[in-house]
Amino acid sequence: MNFTNMDIISMKDFSRDMIDHILNVAEELEPVARGEKRSNIFSNVLLSLLFFEPSTRTRMSFESAIIRGGGNVLNLGSLEASSISKGETLADTIRVVEGYADAIVLRHPKEGAARMAAEYSSVPIINAGDGAGQHPTQTLLDLYTIKRESVLDGVKIAIAGDLKYGRTAHSLCYALSLYGAEINLVSPDSLQMPEEIVNDLRGQNINVYQTSVMEEVIEDIDVLYATRIQKERFPDVTEYEKVAASLKITPGLLDKAKIDLKVMHPLPRVNEIDASIDNTNHACYFKQSFYGVPVRMALLSLVMGRLK
Ligand code: CP
């Protein structure tokens, strides 16, 4: 298996063996990610971060991963302070930045932007989210979280929220299909998972159940993966409020769940999870955001050819 110089664009580009290898390397690197063990795995590595949309976790966990491994980052910073504000194209920006760094992490509002950037770049492009497309490094850390905190093979999962535009949900579904997951998709009718993805999953003999009612599935699942319902997409705010209330994860809802149910969320959350759940054994979302560090460290070490 050779990841050296691979562009990381879509979960569809990964086999189960490839994912398993990344997750195993992440486990080995966890002490480095926690700052418990020193490493120079990224000595002389310069990673460029181009974020055309806001980010806390993805940007900072890439920074943490590279710095803890002895490398450096080159951050474009705010778009206003860059020449993108003068109208420079993404293609030109990529052709310039490839000369400054060994790999480029790109978040962009347009679906397909990372794939396009990879055509212009001689250094690896890592997709950190392309519009409503994919967010593959989030998916890798989601899988790592499920593996560490629950059971990945054959997991019974509910993915809830805005499944139409939620790129983390799209990437996760494709990856879970490699692990024989039973997938329950919980969303308002207007924000259902795109039909193309549901058909792809069913084509791989994955059990997919669609509902708008969380109570229908809560008793049976191992993992509840919540995502933000995007208020801005509802023409009528009262419709949003009805849906948001029906999908909110509350202590009352979790009373009906398995005792070892894990609640995940890619974050940021708004109102999806009641804060009183944060201190229960169900809450997994802050561990999940930490796991972004060892997983991105593993991925970078493989792509930079520092580990095999
Ligand atoms: N989960 C995630 O992508 O978070 P950020 O938008 O903060 O990077």
Look up the CATH number of the domain holding residue 225: 3.40.50.1370
Q: Are residues 151 and 279 in the same domain?
A: yes
Domain extent, residue 23, equals: 11-134+291-303
Answer yes or no: do 172 and 242 share one domain.
yes
Distance of CA 205 from the midpoint of ligand 1 (Å) = 31
Does residue 247 share a domain with residue 297? no
**144 and 271 belong to one structural domain:** yes
Same domain for 66 and 152, yes or no, is: no
* Domain-embedded: residue 2: no
- Residues 159, 144, single domain; the answer is yes
Residues with CB under 6 A from ligand 1: 55-58, 138, 266-268
Same domain, 273 and 142: yes
154 phi/psi in degrees, rounded to 5: 70, 20
The answer to the question of residue 205 being in a domain is yes
61 Cα to the center of ligand 1, angstroms? 10
Q: Residues 208, 97: one domain?
A: no
For the CA of 266, the nearest atom of ligand 1:
1
From first to last of its 308 residues, what are the pLDDT tens digits of the chain?
Answer: 899 999 999 999 999 999 999 999 999 999 999 999 999 999 999 999 999 999 999 999 999 999 999 999 999 989 988 999 999 999 999 999 999 999 999 999 999 999 999 999 999 999 999 988 899 999 999 999 999 999 999 999 999 999 988 889 998 999 999 999 999 999 988 889 999 999 999 999 999 999 999 999 999 999 999 998 877 777 788 878 877 887 899 999 999 999 999 999 999 998 899 999 999 999 999 999 999 999 999 999 999 999 99
Model pLDDT, residue 147: 98
Runs of H (alpha helix) within 2-135: 16-33, 57-68, 90-97, 113-120
**Cα dihedral sign, 55-57-62-63:** positive
Residue 239 included in any domain: yes
- 233 within domain boundaries: yes
Give yes or no: residues 22 and 35 share one domain: yes
In a domain, 94, yes or no: yes
- The answer to the question of residue 255 being in a domain is yes
Q: Same domain, yes or no, for 194 and 116?
A: no
Å from CA of 282 to ligand 1 middle: 21
Q: What is the number of the ligand 1 atom nearest to the C-alpha of 59? A: 8
Torsion sign, CA atoms 78, 82, 83, 85: positive
Ligand 1 centre distance from Cα of residue 203 (Å): 30
67 and 153 assigned to the same domain: no
Domain contains 308: no
Q: Which atom of ligand 1 is nearest to the CA of 129?
A: 3
Find out whether 139 and 157 touch, Cβ atoms under 8 Å: no
Nearest CA to 292 out of 65, 55, 53, 3 is that of 65
Domain check: are 198 and 238 in the same one?
Answer: yes
The pTM of the full predicted model, rounded to 2 decimals, is: 0.96
Q: What is the three-class DSSP state of 106?
A: strand
Q: State the closest ligand 1 atom to the C-alpha of 128, by its place in the atom list counted from 1.
A: 3
CA-nearest residue for atom 4, ligand 1, is 57
Q: Report how many domains make up the chain.
A: 2
Q: Give the model's pLDDT for residue 77.
A: 87
How far apart CA 287 and CA 265 sit, in angstroms, is 10
Cα–Cα distances in Å, from 182 out to 52, 142, 149, 185?
Answer: 35, 16, 17, 10
Is the residue at 92 inside a domain? yes
